[in-house]
Structure 1
């Protein structure tokens, strides 16, 4: 009889042990009165200050990784459940330009961009400028929110921005920005202040800054012809969204590729104190009637305009 009781107790003990093992971890935590909240479950704050002109501490910084927006969108689309909707960011260029108007751009013609870039590399780059890393045709967005067509050359020492006449096929002007002078690089969506009346761009860009956290002087802000603006802002060229072929054929017009190579160049400079942020880029434009007209008519690009070309 005692043997049977012992066996019964052992069986019951084993049953209790099995039941305890199968209790969900969340239930065990809920039964404990003083269990602290798991930090991994906390949601990050959504009201991040998008100001980038002074390199504020509220920006998310990254010094060793580059997140391509296209890869992020693909990952989000794969991970999303059928009930979730993935917000696609469409470039603003899809509205004013189509496959027919984009052919009016002189840079859309075969061989024009390649010839111009090669000419600039030969004429403007010297051994003391460092190792050549890449070249692009991008859209520069000025302080006054005007879009300009620019050739951009990147070396291990500098970024060269070139104004080029794609009709006469000659270089008009250029500017060198040394990587040692940069203190902040911001990569993210182009946005306007909350009180701005300018429509949203839905476009990503990259901004190179060397103002060391100081605000832009008023004499520069109110002068549309000022050459002392302490930052450069680039976006992808309109041709990027209309060029046929894969990414390899579009890479010359792609801001993301330029930003990626720029970050690698910065990281290869041990003496550089430049901080790289992934955050919205604020364009200080509030009414923007002049810039809207300028950008709508693509005055910053060389193209055929009826009987004229400029």
Structure 2
């Protein structure tokens, strides 16, 4: 896969931190030894974003979702394979062996988040943050294997944007609730119309994440929350780039989708997540 800021793939076990200088982050921590993996909750001292639930915010010719998302019913949350006992631990160990490279640096934290692509489709992604790289992994929690991944060099990311999701005022799409995080590289380079109209394009110079639906579950909730990831990745980018020219802003993340029937069906069915579906799991 060829993409600005993407690195290679390798096999290595480089998570022993006995001889590596620790970098302090407020985000999620993952401690992995050579023979035992322990998945720990994120630091409860993490800063939180405004804890209010208000009606959709309207601006001129646009509308934003609410800051807070509503929890899914327990019967739906229980269908996510990532929330089943041992699945996250197994996924982290698998990715450590098959995706992590010794040149990526020491792992700083792991999150399970929702990626939102340029067609507004939601996809479950395991996100691993190292000293030098951001690894975005498509992991199948049903069959427990890596399906795809990409690497983005932290020092290539030039913009961190955090805010509500904003849609055109006349859109048929219901505005997405919750906060999003947009990481951009390429110094403001805009994709071509061909790239934007191609739903399978992997060369769009940004990635957008939001919290995973499991954020409302009782176990390790910060592992699934975008606020924890935002704090950690911002500090990691600054450390990797020497604080040079990183643009951090709190602005709404805008989508220009006016119809969006395809993404509405895709997201409502949660096709991008590893789930049980009427006795069939995919």
Q: TM-score, normalised by structure 2?
A: 0.75
Q: CA–CA distance in 2 between the matches of 1:218 and 1:240? A: 35
2:235 aligned partner: 264
Match of 2:51 in 1: 73
Please list every run of at least 4 consecutive aligned residues from structure 1 whose deviation after the TM superposition is greater than 4 angstroms. none
CA distance in 2, matches of 1:109, 1:239: 11
Decide which structure has greater helix share.
Answer: 1
2:218 paired residue among 239, 244, 258: 244
Give the whole-Å Cα distance in 2 for the aligned partners of 1:179 and 1:89. Answer: 27
Does residue 89 (structure 1) correspond to residue 67 (structure 2)? The answer is yes
Runs of 5+ unmatched residues, structure 1: 1-64, 75-87
Offset at 1:164? 0.8
Shift of 1:232: 0.5
Matched, 1:300 2:275: no
Structure 2 CA distance for aligned equivalents of residues 304 and 192 of structure 1: 31
Gaps of 5+ in 2: 1-25, 28-45, 53-65
**How many Å separate the matches in 1 of 2:90 and 2:256?**
35
How far residue 201 of structure 1 moved from its aligned partner, in angstroms, is 1.4
Aligned-pair CA distance for 1:183: 1.5
Match of 1:45 in 2: none
Kindly state the Cα deviation for residue 190 of structure 1 after the two structures are TM-superposed. 1.5
Aligned partners of 2:48 and 2:227 also within 8 Å = no
Residue 147 of structure 1 pairs with residue 122 of structure 2:
yes
User: 1:110 maps to which residue?
Assistant: 85
1:229 shift after superposition: 1.0
Identify which of 75, 88, 95 aligns with 1:100: 75
Superposed displacement of residue 284, structure 1: 2.5
Equivalenced residues, count: 226
CA contact (8 A) 1:187 1:205 kept: yes
CA RMSD of aligned residues (A): 2.2
Report the equivalent of 1:17: none
Q: Which position in structure 2 is the counterpart of 1:157?
A: 132
Matches of 1:272 and 1:116, distance apart in 2: 34
Matched, 1:123 2:101: no
Q: Does 1:210 align with 2:181?
A: no
Q: What whole-Å deviation, never above 9, does each CA across 1:50-82 have from its counterpart, x for those lacking one?
A: xxxxxxxxxxxxxxx99x8845338xxxxxxxx
Matches within 5 A, 1:150-229: 150-229=125-204
What is the alpha-carbon distance in structure 2 between the residues aligned to residue 255 and residue 226 of structure 1? Answer: 24
Contact 1:236 1:255 (C-alpha < 8 Å) held by counterparts: yes
Deviation at 1:108, TM superposition (A): 1.7
Residues 19-72 of structure 1: CA deviation (Å, up to 9, x unaligned): xxxxxxxxxxxxxxxxxxxxxxxxxxxxxxxxxxxxxxxxxxxxxx99x88453
Separation in structure 2 between the aligned mates of residue 155 and residue 107 of structure 1, nearest angstrom: 22
* 8 A contact 1:198–1:285 mirrored in 2: yes
More strand by share: 2
Q: Secondary structure, in 3 states, of the residue corresponding to 1:121?
A: helix
The alignment's TM-score, normalised by the length of structure 1, stands at 0.68
> Relative to structure 1, is the Cα distance of residues 196 and 211 closer, same or farther in structure 2, using a 3 angstrom cutoff?
farther
